[in-house]
Amino acid sequence: MPRILLLLIPLLLNVETAPAKTLYVSKSGDGSHGLSWETGFNQISRALIESVTNDVIRLSAEVYRENLIVATPVTIIGGYVPGVLIDEGSPSDYSTIESANESRFVFQISHDSILKRLRVTKGRGGIKVSDCRAMISECVVENNGSFGSIETGILSISADLTMENCEISRNEAAGFGAGVRAVDSRVQVIGSTFFKNIGHDIPGHPGIGIPHHLGKGAGLHLEESQAVLANCLLFENEAPEGADIYLRNASIHCVNCTFASTKYPPLFKDESTTTTGPTGFINCIVWGHATSFQGEGWTVCHSNVRGGHLGEGNLDSDPVFLDATNYNYELERGSPCIDSGTDTEITTDLDGNPRPVDVLGIGLDGPGAYDMGCYEFQLKKSDLTRDGKVDAEDLLMFQEEWMREGE
């Protein structure tokens, strides 16, 4: 499974090439030609009109009310403060794009593009990607859709979509995929969080032969698609059929992910589905609703699953989260998930902390001692014995080593 993950990365990330020019957007710009902050355009749409292939568009950290069509391969980076000298590659904040028309998506992308450091919100849908490759990096997609909307936070149609370090939250949709919906697409999601997305039922009308449809896949809805998730956290999403993930004629690999939605079963595979590739979970925690997996054909190993699941190295034990009541799903020292996973070749966790971290005397020992879930238990600097706790033994070791340098 890790090998498949690594093969997909260059395929989906090979979008950005050398830029033709850089355009600037700022409410304080004079709007003349957009080649500096002083002459910056006041609207993102103006920069898109003036852009050519591989241009970079930099946005000041302000709120823009627009609906945008990306019809040229570009990179759009938000969060800059005009006049402040910072690393050009490291904006310090987000730029917020709110829909100016609640009946439309905020972004519609049809050419290979990159979005970075944007907050996309208040649209009938957030971002629509079709017939192209797109990377969405360090973005927040929130509060899009509504009870009666069939649009979603992110909709991918016949596309290659990569998401990294994103937050997908509080989006709503009727029926399908409130957070992310993918149709005939390849999707890769790294280090991202999905929470409080709601997939509403579609009411039926029995008298005229229209059936009632349950909400499906509030976090991620896959149809005729393949997906890889790594270091992702999904919690408190709501949909009767797959609170976190719904599959129909689709496949998914989840590596070091945590699923913690509680109102409905988190993972659902349509009973009529034809799997388009291997579907599996490795080093994952699935702990929320009493029923974890619905449907047949799930492959699970080295994971902690509420209610249990057949597979090598699987557990059925309270994962001992640090504070699940307040949505903190880091592991306490007593968690059975520490050092109980297998080597996935992933070198960091959801917070960017190193993994694996070997806690001596717990679970497996050695360089392959990975934790289950999206967070790797981290040792404190004062934990000299590397056993996961700071106590008298650490003090004794410190005293023994004190002033011994040079002996």
- Residues 6 or more apart in contact with residue 394 via CB below 8 angstroms: 382, 383, 384, 385
- The span from the CA of 205 to the CA of 334, in Å, is 52
Q: Say which range, 4-18, 35-49, 285-299, has the weakest mean pLDDT.
A: 4-18
- The span from the CA of 68 to the CA of 262, in Å, is 36
CB atoms within 10 A of CB 394: 17
The pLDDT of residue 45: 98
Residues 299 and 310 sit within 8 Å (Cβ to Cβ): no
The pLDDT of residue 378: 85
Q: Confidence class of residue 175 from pLDDT cuts 50, 70 and 90? A: confident
The pLDDT of residue 9: 45
Considering the chain, what percentage of its residues have pLDDT values greater than 70? Answer: 79
- The span from the CA of 361 to the CA of 384, in Å, is 14
If you average pLDDT over residues 31-52, what whole number do you get?
A: 96
Residues 172 and 146 sit within 8 Å (Cβ to Cβ): yes
The pLDDT of residue 17: 52
- What spatial distance separates the first Cα and last Cα of the chain, rounded to whole Å? 49
Strands 321-323 and 328-331: antiparallel
What is the overall mean pLDDT for the chain? 86
If you average pLDDT over residues 79-105, what whole number do you get?
A: 79
Token look-up 């029923």 returns: 291
Q: Confidence class of residue 148 from pLDDT cuts 50, 70 and 90? A: low
- Per residue in 351-382, pLDDT (tens digit) is 999 999 988 767 676 677 899 999 999 875 44
Higher pLDDT, 388 or 142: 142
Q: Residue 387 pLDDT more than 70?
A: no
The pLDDT of residue 404: 56
- The span from the CA of 18 to the CA of 340, in Å, is 43
Q: Say which range, 8-22, 236-250, 361-375, has the weakest mean pLDDT.
A: 8-22
CB atoms within 10 A of CB 5: 19
Q: pTM here?
A: 0.87
